Structures are given as C-alpha cells and as structure tokens.
C-alpha cells in the first residue's frame, strides 16, 4: 500500500508564493520542474522496493514491508532549511544542499526485515548510498529509532539519465507508532514539556524496542532467552 503525503508543489502554489513572498516567485515557478523530477525518483525507489517485497513474499511466504509512505518536501520547509543553513533560496541550492527533498518511509514488520531490505536495495550500483545513519542500533537521545539512508536514484528523462538523492527511512510498525505519538505529544500539544516527560518517552522507546526483539524471536521460533 502506498500513501502519498502532502507537501507537493502545484501550479496554484506559484501565485500564493508571489503574494506572500514576492522574492520567491522564480523559485516557486522552478519548483514545478523540481517536483516532477523528484517525484519520478520517488516512483523509481518505491517501485523497486515493491518488487523486492513481492519477490520475497513469493519465495518465503513473508512480506517484509507492511506499508510505504512518501512525500515531496514543501516549499515552505525548503525555504526554512536553506535559510537555517545560511544558503540563498535558489533552485541550484535546492539541488545542491537539500538531500531529503524526496522522502520515502518504509514500515517493516520485523527488525530483520529492515536490514534485509537495506541490503537488497543497495546491492547494485543503481542505488548508491550517499549517507547512512542507524538510529536503531544507536538511537537518538530522544529515543527515536529508525534506519536512515540517502540513496542516489537514477531516472531517465528526455535529456538523459539524472541521479537524484532520495531519503529512505526504514522502521518497524512499533517504531513508527512511537515516532508519530512522540511528535504529537512534543510538538502539537499545549502541555508543558520537561525532562521528566522526555525520560518517560525514552523509556517507552526502550520498551518498544524490546517488544520488537521479542516479536521477531517468536516469529523465528527462538526462545525468550535468545540474544542476537
């Protein structure tokens, strides 16, 4: 199943950008082309993962992917990120400095599925890993866990072959649940947020990780005493 998130640029957004931010008129117009190219890269990356998922399911009667989500970064988010890093807001700087313009989130059933998919996706020269951060083995201080990849994806266009970066996040269903609720609690609620609440969230993350390990052991027929 594929779920497309909001954040894409349409022609109607150009007039809005001119009205609110006149200096971004040319960037907003150029984003129509940028959006098309990165959407094409998304399709290539997602299609390849769906092919791998279907092949694995046919061979082993197990589908490693629960579902896939994807999105194109919004113009507002792009502008904030470039300015925060000290870059002028131009189309050239979008290509040069925004590596998560196209984002894919792959929700897996088990921990091993994450690393299996990572290995399959990057075993050929077609998908070159530009950057990798394993927040599963080394979670962030907040408790966030996920495997992040920036992968160079080739697309064929009228001018030839173009390679664009796509951010791929791989996580389990449980990790995705924690990340969604953590974001909701921390950034979308009016409640006071202190160290006590942060500690409780980290403890929840640790508990969820242990549940992930135990669910995988049960699936693989291993006893509760098994340590990987």
pTM of the model: 0.84
Task: Tell me what pLDDT residue 81 has.
Answer: 94
Task: Tell me what pLDDT residue 108 has.
Answer: 96
- Does 167 participate in catalysis according to the annotation? yes
Task: Tell me what pLDDT residue 14 has.
Answer: 41
Low-confidence ranges of the chain (pLDDT < 50): 1-20
Task: Tell me what pLDDT residue 15 has.
Answer: 42
Task: Tell me what pLDDT residue 74 has.
Answer: 87
Distances, alpha carbon 111 to alpha carbons 36, 187, 208, in Å: 33, 27, 12
Task: Tell me what pLDDT residue 23 has.
Answer: 60
The string over 59-98, giving b where at least 16 C-beta atoms fall within 10 Å of a residue's C-beta and e elsewhere, is eeeeebbbebbbbbbbbeebbebbeeeeeebeeeebeeeb
Task: Tell me what pLDDT residue 186 has.
Answer: 81
Catalytic residue among 10, 167, 195, 225: 167
> Strands, DSSP E only, in 77-192?
102-108, 128-134, 147-157, 160-172
- Beta-bridge mates of residue 167: 103, 150
Task: Tell me what pLDDT residue 226 has.
Answer: 59
Whose structure tokens read 């909001």?
Answer: 6
What are the structural domains, with CATH classification, of the chain? Answer: 2-175 (3.30.460.10)
Q: What is the Cα–Cα distance from 201 to 203, expressed in whole angstroms?
A: 5
Task: Tell me what pLDDT residue 5 has.
Answer: 41
Task: Tell me what pLDDT residue 4 has.
Answer: 44
Beta-strand pair 147-157/128-134: antiparallel
- How far apart are the two ends of the chain, measured CA to CA in Å? 31
Q: What is the Cα–Cα distance from 153 to 162, expressed in whole angstroms?
A: 8
């Amino acid at each position: 199943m594929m779920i497309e998130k909001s954040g894409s640029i349409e022609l109607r957004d150009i007039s809005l950008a001119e009205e609110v931010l006149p200096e971004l008129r040319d960037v907003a117009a150029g984003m129509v082309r940028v959006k098309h190219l990165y959407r094409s890269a998304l399709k290539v990356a997602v299609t390849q993962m769906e092919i791998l998922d279907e092949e694995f399911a046919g061979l082993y009667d197990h589908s490693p992917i629960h579902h896939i989500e994807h999105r194109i970064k919004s113009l507002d988010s792009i502008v904030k990120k470039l300015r925060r890093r000290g870059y002028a807001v131009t189309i050239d700087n979008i290509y040069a400095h925004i590596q998560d313009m196209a984002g894919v989130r792959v929700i897996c059933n088990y921990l091993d599925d994450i690393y299996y998919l990572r290995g399959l996706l990057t075993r050929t020269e077609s998908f070159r890993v530009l950057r990798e951060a394993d927040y599963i083995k080394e979670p962030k201080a907040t408790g966030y866990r996920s495997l992040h990849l920036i992968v160079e994806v080739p697309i064929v266009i009228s001018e030839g072959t173009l390679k664009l970066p796509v951010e791929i996040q791989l996580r389990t269903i449980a990790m995705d649940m924690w990340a969604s609720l953590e974001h909701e609690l921390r950034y979308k609620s009016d409640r006071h947020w202190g160290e006590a609440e942060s500690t409780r969230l980290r403890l929840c993350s640790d508990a969820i990780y242990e549940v992930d390990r135990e669910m995988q052991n049960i699936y693989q027929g291993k006893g509760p005493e098994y340590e990987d």
